[in-house]
Amino acid sequence: MQSFRTEIENPVVEKDIIELANKIEQFHKGKIDEEKFRSLRLARGVYGQRQEGVQMIRIKLPYGKVKSNQLKRICEVSDEYSRGRLHITTRQDIQIHYVDLNRTPELWAELEKDDVTLREACGNTVRNVTASETAGIDVNEPFDVSPYAHAVFQNFLRNPICQEMGRKFKVSFSGTDEDTGLSYMHDLGFIAKIENGVRGFKVMLGGGLGSQPRHADELYSFLPTDKIIPLMEGVLRIFDRHGERKSRAKARMKFLIKDIGLEAFKELVEAEQKAIVNKTVPIDAEAYEVSTPVIVEAPQVVIKDQKAFELWKSTNVIPQKQEGYVAIGIKVLLGDFYTDKARLLADLVEQYAAGELRLSLRQNILIPFVKEDLVPFFYQELGKLGFTEAGYNKAVDITACPGTDTCNLGIASSTGIADELERVLKAEYPQYLEKEDLVIKISGCMNACGQHNMANIGFQGMSIRTKDKLVAPALQVLLGGGNLGDGNGRFADKVVKIPSRRGPEALRRILNDFEANAKDQLFVDYYAEKGEKYFYDLLTDLSEIDNLTPEDFVDWGNEEKYVKAIGVGECAGVVIDLVATLFLESEEKIQNAKTSFDSGVYSDAVYHTYSSLVNSAKALLIAENKKTNTHAGIIRQFDELFVETKKINLEGTFADLVYQIQKNAPTKDFALDYIKIAQQFLQKVQSYRALEVESA
């Protein structure tokens, strides 16, 4: 642990890493409950893997921007601590697998040398802030959203208001009305707009995928840029207080909006603004660091296969708004690539572009700021790396989560079927190599990490059981989803469930029908015209399971007979709370409040104190076997069970005491008084608990 102190300059990061190392040691010694430890490591990017004894590490890369030096650093870490494979996610992160838990602190320390973090890449936190991969170069954008996405990332990283929420919270930024950031399926989505010369965003709230997808509501048609951070803080505080905590299936923002309604939620957020320090937070877009393209003379290149080159240019080269430059898209099969190629790619963009890459929501790579006369040279050099496959962001570019390869929740193979479907498309439907319309996505389970339920054609991993109680891998076929732009979208219908081995035949039937009957329609419109029953009739015979062959019991990409095996999911960071542990946490929160107070960050001090108060009350409710689903519910129940019955004496109600956070600006004097109140309250509930245990 001493080496962390000497090598890391940022004391906040150093404290984080040392804390992780200490907690791992305590966990091994049995001093921390397994479920509590899970919550802590998830918030630090350390995620349990399907294979026992190893972890998946998720590296947080805001809006998918990666500099050459950062990619090289990630490669070094992957080679040293893993197996040299990098996986791009649908949230513009990079994941590495098969990491020893005990080595995660030193892995994190190595990444931080190039300003790369694991913090809050998983767990019940604000996840990676995503954005259009063409932000800053898009010919249609009113302005570059990158500075605003970066400001949101910075403001809410380690922010006490969003460290222990009921569930994860996802934010996106779209640079244009095409809404390539997919705002309609996010907890908060921002779409760039300009009104009367003022920069701002259309704001979407409460979207989500999973087993019950929900289309986001329009919260504001236009919100100036200096209001987005205060708004998000208000939204997070209300979600933290009123959001479900016990039932993971109901713990996302979309369920809270559904329960209380958009207007009621909006009123709560607006009322919360009094407690927020800054009513406006101007974001200096001009100060944002923009990568500078290098000026080099184009090397002479001889293209051997001109036809292949022209096809690649038509699908993988994207115009930029900066004159004389283009961006080059790299199609990365299933988001997987290896460090040997990644290093050479980092060198290439450093020497001949702007030293920067963008990871896309479709698990691909975009190289911005390539001089137009360097395009043949890039084609040659990328070809040496196997990175010139045509079809960037086209129909043949299928998105898939890792599925049963590494994920605990995977039910059926995502990568295996994706591989086969891409093969079918290339071999039998070459016209789709250039079609952007058709979006195909695959998830290994209902959690939709592969975003299957917003695709034109989606597949979800499932299983089927025969009359003889034999289990085979299956796919739910979903059709008709799509991004309609400007915050509008459609979610796909579940049409039919079929054995996995029949997935290619299902795709053939869908495409053949589309080719024969759709005329010039987009698939999303063609499906809407025909309807779910039409496609059910087209595919229903594929769902028959009385005629399964031995091959049907072997999943794609596997050789052994299928076994349904689902582990414990960690997407939500489930925590089982013990009374003693909660009291210890309350003490830690008070200590954090004091640290923030001494640093002059009174807003953080106040929120740490609020968390301590609720946590202390929760401890006693847990002891009474009461539900602690929401913060608001905890506060209400504590008054009913302990204050109104005079079991615990307070001056007024517990609600009056706690909700001072809403009625007072986070000043120095209020923070000091609030901390004292929390200390006194903790002493009271601990004393009460001690007497209860003694008399039991």
Q: What is the pLDDT of residues 200-216, one digit of tens each?
A: 999 999 999 988 899 99
Q: What is the percent of the chain with per-residue pLDDT over 90, rounded to a whole number?
A: 68
Residues 334-378 have pLDDT tens digits of 899 999 999 999 999 999 999 999 999 999 999 999 999 999 999
Alpha carbon distance 696, 693 (integer Å): 5
What's residue 166's pLDDT? 87
Checking if the pLDDT of 572 tops 50, the result is no
Checking if the pLDDT of 574 tops 70, the result is no
Residues 278 and 187 in one domain: yes
- Per-residue pLDDT, averaged over 549-574, amounts to 65
pLDDT level of residue 418 (50, 70, 90 thresholds): confident
- Per-residue pLDDT, averaged over 456-477, amounts to 89
Residues 419 and 341 in one domain: no
The DSSP secondary-structure symbol of 615 reads: H
Q: What is the percent of the chain with per-residue pLDDT over 70, rounded to a whole number?
A: 95
What's residue 41's pLDDT? 84
Alpha carbon distance 343, 345 (integer Å): 5
Structure tokens, 354? 């702007």
The CATH number given to whatever domain includes residue 441 is 3.30.413.10
Residues 193-252 have pLDDT tens digits of 999 999 999 999 999 998 889 999 999 999 999 999 999 999 999 999 999 887 777 889
Residues 168 and 273 in one domain: yes
What's residue 379's pLDDT? 97
The CATH number given to whatever domain includes residue 366 is 3.30.70.3340
Residues 177 and 251 in one domain: yes
- Write down which residue in 253, 287, 321 finishes a domain: 287
What's residue 431's pLDDT? 87
Residues 310 and 253 in one domain: no
Distances (CA, A) of 497 to 261, 341, 459, 472, 632: 34, 39, 9, 12, 41
Checking if the pLDDT of 179 tops 60, the result is yes
Residues 523-554 have pLDDT tens digits of 999 999 999 999 999 999 999 998 899 898 88
What's residue 694's pLDDT? 76
What's residue 1's pLDDT? 39
What's residue 85's pLDDT? 94
What's residue 64's pLDDT? 97
Checking if the pLDDT of 323 tops 70, the result is yes
- Per-residue pLDDT, averaged over 474-492, amounts to 95
Checking if the pLDDT of 575 tops 50, the result is no
What's residue 397's pLDDT? 80
Residue reference for tokens 């050099």: 381
- Per-residue pLDDT, averaged over 554-570, amounts to 64
**Domain span at 42:** 2-112
- Write down which residue in 322, 349, 384 finishes a domain: 384
Residues 616-661 have pLDDT tens digits of 999 999 888 888 889 999 999 999 999 999 999 999 999 999 999 9
What's residue 394's pLDDT? 84
For 514, half-sphere exposure in the C-beta direction (CA atoms, 13 angstrom radius) is 23
The CATH number given to whatever domain includes residue 617 is 1.20.120.330
The DSSP secondary-structure symbol of 640 reads: I
User: 574 in a domain, yes or no?
Assistant: no
Number of domains in the chain: 5
Alpha carbon distance 522, 486 (integer Å): 17
Q: Helix 375-384 and helix 339-352: axis angle, to 10°?
A: 160
User: 548 in a domain, yes or no?
Assistant: yes
User: 14 in a domain, yes or no?
Assistant: yes
Average pLDDT of the chain to the nearest whole number: 90
Q: List CB contacts of 580: < 8 A, sequence separation 6 or more.
A: none
Which H/E stretch holds residue 221? strand 217-224
What's residue 408's pLDDT? 57
User: 520 in a domain, yes or no?
Assistant: yes
Residues 224 and 194 in one domain: yes
- Write down which residue in 358, 384, 410 finishes a domain: 384
Residue pair 182/131 in contact (Cβ under 8 Å)? The answer is no
Q: List CB contacts of 114: < 8 A, sequence separation 6 or more.
A: 67, 69, 70, 72, 73
What's residue 571's pLDDT? 46
Helix and strand numbers, DSSP H then E, in the chain: 22, 22
What's residue 640's pLDDT? 96
- Per-residue pLDDT, averaged over 156-161, amounts to 94
Checking if the pLDDT of 413 tops 80, the result is no
